Amino acid sequence: MTLNQISVFVENKAGKLQQLTDVLAKNRINMRALSLAETSEFGIVRIIVDDTAAAAAVLAQEGFIHSITKVLGVAIPDEPGGLNRVLNVLSGSDVNMEYMYAFLGGKEAKHAYMIFRVQDNEAVEAALAANGIACIDQATLTDL
């Protein structure tokens, strides 16, 4: 169970991030999660959206360089130690994490959600499931 993450390369100049969000907004694409990592000249905007195919098409049409990566979305109990429990499973499974970022569900959510970029999605998902920790997919994301 994975999510499609779109990584968009954006010039590190005033207004460039807004141009990206403008394209998505005009095309009624809902961002569910966002992470921004930057260097002095460029940034990488990592987004999870409700419609990956439509987002990729409009980004390409508007000249945004982007790629799609499979990542894990993990439901974490919204309680003290929730993230620590997940990280204990990952460290006990000798998982190398490239990066992670969080997003929240809807108003009634009893979970926070983390996006994890790891080398082996299937192995990590199996380790988490064996410890009672659920991953989410694109369909589940739409219902949050």
CATH code: domain of residue 102? 3.30.70.260
Pair (119, 64) in one structural domain: no
Pair (43, 80) in one structural domain: no
Domain boundary among 16, 50, 69: 69
User: Quick one: pLDDT at residue 129?
Assistant: 92
User: Quick one: pLDDT at residue 103?
Assistant: 82
Torsion of CA 63, 64, 67, 71, to 10 degrees: -150
- Block means of pLDDT (10 residues each) for the chain, 144 residues, are 93 89 95 86 90 95 95 88 90 84 71 88 91 87 70
From the list 20, 100, 32, the residue with the least C-alpha distance to 66 is 20
Pair (80, 26) in one structural domain: no
Q: How many domains does the chain have?
A: 2
pTM exceeding 0.85: yes
Domain that holds residue 11: 3-69
Do residues 66 and 13 lie in contact, with contact meaning Cβ atoms separated by under 8 Å?
no
User: Quick one: pLDDT at residue 138?
Assistant: 84
Pair (55, 17) in one structural domain: yes
Pair (16, 51) in one structural domain: yes
**Other C-beta atoms lying within 10 Å of the C-beta of residue 115:** 22
User: Quick one: pLDDT at residue 116?
Assistant: 93
User: Quick one: pLDDT at residue 107?
Assistant: 56
Do residues 78 and 86 lie in contact, with contact meaning Cβ atoms separated by under 8 Å?
no
Query: Hey, which bits of 39-138 come out as E strands?
Result: 42-49, 66-77, 97-104, 111-118, 135-136
CATH code (residue 19)? 3.30.2130.10
Pair (60, 102) in one structural domain: no
Task: Report which DSSP code applies to 133.
Answer: -
User: Quick one: pLDDT at residue 61?
Assistant: 95
- Alpha-carbon distance 114 to 70, whole Å? 14
**Other C-beta atoms lying within 10 Å of the C-beta of residue 77:** 14
Pair (89, 56) in one structural domain: no
